[in-house]
Structure 1
Amino acid sequence: MTRVAIERLVAELSLVRIAGGSAVALPASPGRVLGEIDRVAGPTRIEAFELPPIGDAPLAQPRLHIAACGAGPGWRGADMLVRSDAGGGWTVAGRARLASVIGTLDGVPAPACAGLVDRSSAIDVVLAHDGMVLGDADDAALDAGANAALIGDELVQFARAEPLGGARWRLSGLWRGRRGSEAAMAGQGPGTRFVLLDPRALLTVDLAPEAIGGVAEVSASGVGDAEPALASAAVTGRSVAPPSPVHPRIAALPGGDLAIGWTRRSRAGWAWRDTVDAPLGEEREAYRLTITRGDGAARNVDLGAPGWTYPAAALAEDRSVGAVTLSIVQIGTHAPSAPLTLTI
């Protein structure tokens, strides 16, 4: 029984005990234990890198990607810090909550052409632990971007992933040199990094434009780390640069001049939906052609179109000291492309 009195905005409650019956024993269950496997987290492993443009919307700032995992399947994330040569100390980059599939090459990939699907060769990789898995993808899924991976600095895709036992896998049905990364095919071998590019697991950090040409450092701390895991990446500007020009052409003209031509590529409109020319993707079309003679002397020619005429007299003089090397880059809004190089 309860009595309530309110006086001067103060409430007073008076409780009076009432007689009750005896306690009734109710049936109950102690429950059961749902045991969880005690998985080892292990120390954090991280990879930091810049990717060539992978979306149809061109970036305005260089972008750093960070992939992280643990030495064991119990890894559950790590807090990330980043700093660059552009100035300032460590800044919070966020937390990697999902483990990326990270590993290394186990062998040397066979030579390949970026313009063809490689159905004859395979790439073997060793993942960070045997709890990691890879899957297959059909042509439609590959066209939508599935099974994209970074091998060294080359962007590849694979149609089939065959488990070889333990943490070893064999990748085949290869699409090599994706998004203009064919120059990175050279120099790959055992120990070259492998990172599956799963957007759900990757952490991205946009850097200041002044960071181009410098180095970005990443520090990661997880529950299994006695000391932070560290990684660094050169900020080359490839995430904001157009791909290198392709398809060089040389034609002799009457009088001995040479017509030099090439085809530009764009960091926008990779899907080529309208089957017309790719969009420029830059504020203006511009190229720099560098002529290097056999004696090391070099000069530049700035151009506004994908072509140049090499005068016969200049060609003869340049060739008098050996072969001539032409290097052509597209000047992007934020960074130049990698060069297209030919020798004449």
Structure 2
Amino acid sequence: MDRAHVWAWDARPWPDFPERLETWIDGLNYDLGHWINARIALPALAEIVSDVCARSGVREVEVSELYGAATGFMIGAVETARQSLQPLMLTYGFDSFTLRERVAFAGRNGKVALELTSDMMVVSAAKPVFACSRSSPADAPGRVVLEYVRSDLDYQPGVAEAVAPQVAEADTAQSSVPVVISEAYAKVVAERWLIESRVARDSVQFELPPALLGVTSGDVVSIAKGERHDLYRVDRVEELGSRALTAVRIEPSVYDAPVYDLTPARDRPVLAQTPVHAEFLELPLLRGDEAPDAPYVAIAKTPWTGSVAVYAAPADSGYILNREILRPAIVGETLEPLRACKAGLLTRDRLRVRLSSGALQSQASLNVLNGANAAALRYGGTGAWEIVQFTTALLVGSSEYVLGGLLRGQAGTDGIMPDVWPPGTDFVLLDGGVVQVGQTSGARGLERHFRIGPATRAYDDPSYLHMIQTFGGVGLRPYRPAHLSASRRADGAVDLRWVRRTRIDGDTWDGNEVPLGEERELYRVVVRNEGNVLRKYEPTSVSQVYSASHHAEDGSHAILMFEVAQVSRQFGTGPYARVIVDF
């Protein structure tokens, strides 16, 4: 081997080459090819066997006929050398025997060491020249199961099996080996194990003269049976003057270099535990059974690496687990401006959004009217959220959708609808990924500390996000009064009237007045001129008179703006409805 050369090192990255067959078709040739990628650093099988034997005090071993390399092997317990080597012997197909007073190991290869005939065997009056036997079919398994460690799937446990054909109720042999191999090679091992077990039912016993000392355990001999030659592997040799040998039948093709199909590698993204994106939402009551003073949280991360824990505390210490989020929220941003329009009516407006994760889908109109496809909009990371719904979602680009059939200002958010939502407005789909955070009513208006991160790690891990939030309990916010009107009386007074709305059980068609939803009915009426407050009223019914005398006291301005809002004892004043009167 003076002029032996290693060829070749491939510049393509391993293990993408050879696993990504959709990219490099010659990856199919890797196992039988000339590449040294990922092989040059593998320990030789002979080195592993020698090391295991040396640990047990056996240092003089013969491994010159043991070829191949191992991807990975583990000794996970206190065990003997035999217990450690048996998984390797099964996986890589080699035997152990005594050779010249030394322990020897050699791979099974089906290479014939000697062709025997009956003339070469010792003839004994008490015994046949050679005896053939076949064990019961029940002694050979009809199914074998091999448990191993997968080299092609991040060292996850793997299982390979082989089943003999035409076996009705197969006896199963099972073995677990702490050896790292590929899924394809594990299938080869299982099939070889099954075939060897079934072929080895046939065995022979014969004696050879001392002149044939070269035939020893592990050798393969060919024995002529008429015109047929069967191959047997010597398993045992007894030196009793003549040499008594026991051998089992083999099929040499079992030991040919295995050829198996490779499957294209699946993308295995690195699931790094990096900080998540968290968005707190103060929303009105959507279903009616929510806690009205508790906020919601939307968690997003691509790729999603598992459940996310939300810890809460009054200060940055003493955190208690509040919620565990099991799925990501669908979040994104708007790409076009969305102008204000009349609430509660289907519009022809379109809203183009880009999602950072997830997908949207269209819904039937009836499903939308029953609450489907609700989303929240807010710009700049602060302020109130408007609830919108959409009927159609058309995919127009990579993670980009055009939403149609919009319903604006849902759940009483028409009172906070701006003149326009600019591009870049936050978009959060209100599905099962948005979860309400636990909060007592006494915590409203107080600072709360949150730590949000992977549930598999402690809340002081660097991957956790620290946030400080204050919540006002938007679920308690009264709706803006509807149908505000102002009419002039003959005496110069202004008669204000409106219709009360409710945030609780207001979607009824039985003709009765909607529930009050508050401890008592109370409104706030503000009279303004050019932004200046002239007068305030707090009526307890849905009307108020601005008298001519009050008008005179306030300066008899030609143009006045009247603002009306419902008042909640818990929340305070809700959004104002406005009407302008020209005197």
Normalising by the smaller structure, the TM-score range is 0.7 to 0.9
Aligned counterpart in structure 1 of residue 323 of structure 2, from 91, 94, 102: 94
- 1:294 deviates by 4.7
Aligned to 1:105: 334
Aligned partner of 1:126 in structure 2 is 354
- Choose which of 407, 415, 433 in structure 2 pairs with 1:175: 407
Q: Please tell me the residue identity of whatever aligns with 1:142.
A: V
Instruction: Write out aligned runs for 1:129-144 (5 A).
Output: 129=357, 132-144=358-370
Task: Output aligned runs, 1:1-344, within 5 Å.
Answer: 24-26=139-141, 27-30=143-146, 31-32=159-160, 33=183, 37-41=267-271, 43-57=275-289, 59=291, 61-72=292-303, 74-83=304-313, 90-118=319-347, 120-129=348-357, 132-152=358-378, 153-186=385-418, 187-198=420-431, 200-214=432-446, 216-222=448-454, 226-231=462-467, 235-294=471-530, 296-320=532-556, 323-336=559-572, 337-344=574-581
Q: Distance in 2 between matches of 1:206 and 1:160?
A: 33
Superposed displacement of residue 162, structure 1: 1.0
Task: Give per-residue Cα distances to partners, 1:49-105, cap 9 Å, x unaligned.
Answer: 11112123585x511101112132x332211123569x9964422111111111111
Q: Is the 8 Å Cα contact of residues 43 and 71 (structure 1) preserved in structure 2?
A: no
Give 5+ residue unaligned stretches, structure 2: 1-134, 147-158, 161-182, 184-262, 379-384
Compute the displacement of 1:151 (Å): 1.3
* Aligned mates of 1:298, 1:317 — CA distance in 2: 9
Change (3 A) 1:143 1:308: same
Q: Is the 8 A contact 2:526 2:533 kept in 1?
A: no
Larger helix proportion of the pair? 2
Distance 1:220 1:58 in 2: 22
Aligned partners of 1:285 and 1:242: how far apart in 2?
11
Q: Deviations over 1:238-269 (max 9, x none)?
A: 21122111211111123111111111110112
Is the CA contact (8 Å cut-off) linking 1:48 and 1:66 kept in structure 2?
yes
Q: Conserved in 1, the CA contact under 8 Å of 2:300 and 2:330?
A: yes
**CA contact 1:58–1:268 (8 Å) conserved in 2:** no
Q: Is the 8 A contact 1:294 1:322 kept in 2?
A: no
Distance 2:476 2:275 in 1: 33
Worse-superposed segment, 213-222 or 31-40: 31-40
Q: Which secondary structure does the structure 2 equivalent of 1:324 belong to?
A: strand
CA deviations over 1:287-335 (Å, ceiling 9, x no partner): 1222344583544322110111111011133244674333322122421
Give the conservation status (yes or no) of the 8 Å contact 2:485–2:579: no
| Distance verdict in 2 for CA 1:75–1:271, change over 3 Å | farther
Change over 3 Å in CA distance of 1:84–1:266 after alignment to 2 = farther
Inter-CA distance 310–233: structure 2 relative to 1 (3 Å threshold): same
Letter in 2 for 1:133: A
Local SS of the residue matching 1:276 = coil
Give the secondary structure class of the aligned counterpart of 2:475.
Answer: coil
Q: Which amino acid aligns with 1:124?
A: R
RCO greater where, 1 or 2, for CA within 8 Å and sep 6 or more? 1
> What is the aligned length?
317
Equivalent-residue separation in structure 2 for 1:88 and 1:308 (angstroms): 51
Q: Which amino acid aligns with 1:309?
A: V
Unaligned runs of 5+ in 1: 1-20
Tell whether the 8 Å contact from 2:339 to 2:421 is kept in structure 1 after alignment: no
Secondary structure at the residue paired with 1:313? helix
Cα distance in structure 1, aligned partners of 2:300 and 2:307: 7
Deviation >6 Å, runs of 4+: none
Q: Output the aligned Cα RMSD.
A: 3.1
Q: CA deviation at 1:204?
A: 1.1
Q: Is the 8 A contact 1:46 1:230 kept in 2?
A: no
- Does the 8 Å contact 1:48/1:231 carry over to 2? no
Q: 2:152 — aligned with what? A: none
Question: In 2, Cα distance between the equivalents of 1:340 and 1:157?
Answer: 23
Give the Cα–Cα distance (whole angstroms) in 2 for the partners of residues 307 and 142 of structure 1. 34
Distance in 2 (CA, whole Å) between partners of 1:306 and 1:89 is 48
Offset of residue 227 of structure 1: 3.0
**Separation in 2, partners of 1:150, 1:164:** 21
**Contact 2:308–2:453 under 8 Å retained in 1:** yes
Letter in 2 for 1:290: V
Once the two structures are TM-superposed, the CA of residue 116 in structure 1 deviates from its matched residue by 1.4
- CA radius of gyration, larger in: 2
Separation in 1 of the partners of 2:430 and 2:436? 12
Residue 126 of structure 1 and its aligned partner are, at CA, apart by: 1.2
